Chains A and B, each alone.
Chain A
């Protein structure tokens, strides 16, 4: 992109950013929002469709109870007020992936309103206010044919698959978030990260950004520092990873600053993020402002969740990520900083499960943030992608604690586990990694060390007991580290100094 950009740090000297996020989450229901079609990802085109989700004449919608409940649960997890009266509305517009000529959505009567989500960036807590959480349906998918790269521009025609059409979609809209300053890009990312974790914890969706089950539109505006009015915002679509959320805000801040610096006006427009460059470009501007002609959907009756229903859903909520972090931090006696490291490393759940499998919190943390972090780094994979389970890590710590292996041997045992040789205990057995106890073999090694270093023996006998260390080292070398150093030292003392 050839657009002028201002250096990021420079932006903050003159402007204050305001961000806002609209997040769409495809719910992980068995069936679609308004019909019984399955929702399996990656199914053959148009095999999960019926008169309802194809918008055939005469068909009628019936709302999915699980989708409504998931939406209310998400609302509750975000501290929202759950509406006692809520309605679906028709959002009317023409597009080939919209089978009915309208999208069934919610307009002025959403299911959940007025919540918030606190996110932490560099030890600072930012409150993101949630304006609304509403339920709607996903669109079909267009495949563009005849263009250069399957893109819409220059395409000759398009092909539409309606498998995705009608999958329940929850839209979570924040209020504008001012005051994040230079941290705005990270706050945006932290918000989506936390939201994703909450929804995952609720089991409402698999929230896989790469598969599109969580999609973000990121709004960004700039105002001159100290200004009472906010600037014109752009809406960046196509933001398909956590990293991109951060990059989209960063890029728009830099680009808008350049526009404003040049005395220009930021256009209220939709922009598209390019994952490869991290830049955004304007979408096609529409000839006329869209008029969606919203009105209450007459084919669906109102949703009126009563207190009993909402309370039942609230009582069934699992422990949410923030509460869990606080609890674990206390249980494990960690400082806030230590906890942040653990969370940022993506190791919290792994450590928790390792502790659950019997390891001490300290050992579990040491392994996941130390040796295992190193290995994942070297392999360029996530911690969760390593071929070792928390239970296996717990077993490693147990082997060390009981003295079966030392740290070095434990790392060798890990090699075996990662190589698919089985659980740690089996690897130790198979590879013969157990620490060498007081045995004839070890006795022979001790005797050989004594025989091989008469000068050292003489020094020790002469009172320089610390010289014994050289003999211990020699035994450890001949046993390739497999002996237990304390045992070796005791045997040497017995044999050099006598009983």
Chain B
């Protein structure tokens, strides 16, 4: 991204094509060139609009992450029946040896 945000003003970095491409990679979206152009324009306008939140005076305001005032919602440690394996694998795009088959992984060894 091009620069650091400055939260105390409505100023914010624009999202250019390169930023969109980076975010799309992070989000596993193989966007096309045409989409990059279109999204850059549209998201720029959206970002202008949503950056209005930075105008709010929120000193000493606690963020709301949950709309319900609940804590400590827990379940007892009791095992309950799992799904039948046939049902588990029935929806899979590919299965082999009772497992989900996935394309080769180019990542770290786990």
**Chain A interfacial positions (CB closer than 8 Å to B):** 29-31, 35-39, 44-51, 54, 56, 62-68, 87, 94-97, 139, 142-146, 151-152, 155-162, 237-238, 270, 272, 283-284, 286, 288, 291, 293, 296, 298, 300-305
Q: Judge if B83 is at the interface, Cβ distance under 8 Å.
A: yes
Partner of B71 from A30, A67, A284, A301 at Cβ < 8 Å: A301
Partner of B99 from A45, A54, A283, A303 at Cβ < 8 Å: A45
CA gap between A35 and B75 in the complex, in Å = 9
Decide if A144 touches B105 in the complex (CB within 8 Å).
yes
Interface extent on B, as a size class?
A: 35 or more
Decide if B79 touches A160 in the complex (CB within 8 Å).
no
Stretch at the interface among B7-15, B41-49, B62-70: B62-70
Residue of B nearest to A96 (CB): B102
Interface of chain B residues 63 through 102 with chain A (CB within 8 A): 65-66, 68, 70-83, 85, 88-89, 91, 96-102
Q: A142-B110, A238-B109, A272-B109 are in contact. Are A65 and B68 (CB under 8 A)?
A: no
Residue of B nearest to A287 (CB): B25
Decide if A302 touches B75 in the complex (CB within 8 Å).
no
**A97 CB, nearest partner CB in chain B, Å:** 7
Q: What 15 new A-B contacts, CB under 8 Å, besides A48-B82, A65-B74, A160-B100?
A: A29-B77, A45-B97, A46-B100, A49-B82, A49-B85, A54-B88, A87-B65, A142-B105, A152-B107, A152-B110, A155-B105, A159-B97, A284-B106, A304-B72, A305-B72
Decide if A62 touches B75 in the complex (CB within 8 Å).
yes
Decide if B75 touches A160 in the complex (CB within 8 Å).
no
Partner of A67 from B25, B77, B81 at Cβ < 8 Å: B77
Partner of B80 from A36, A45, A284 at Cβ < 8 Å: A36
CA gap between A237 and B110 in the complex, in Å = 9
Partner of A288 from B25, B79, B88, B110 at Cβ < 8 Å: B25
CA gap between A151 and B108 in the complex, in Å = 11
Decide if A30 touches B77 in the complex (CB within 8 Å).
yes
**B97 CB, nearest partner CB in chain A, Å:** 6
Within 8 Å CB of A37, what residues of B?
A: 79-80, 82
CA gap between A45 and B88 in the complex, in Å = 11
CA gap between A49 and B99 in the complex, in Å = 12
Sample of 14 A–B contacts (CB below 8 Å): A29-B77, A31-B79, A38-B82, A45-B97, A46-B98, A47-B85, A50-B82, A65-B77, A139-B110, A146-B104, A157-B101, A159-B97, A298-B66, A305-B72
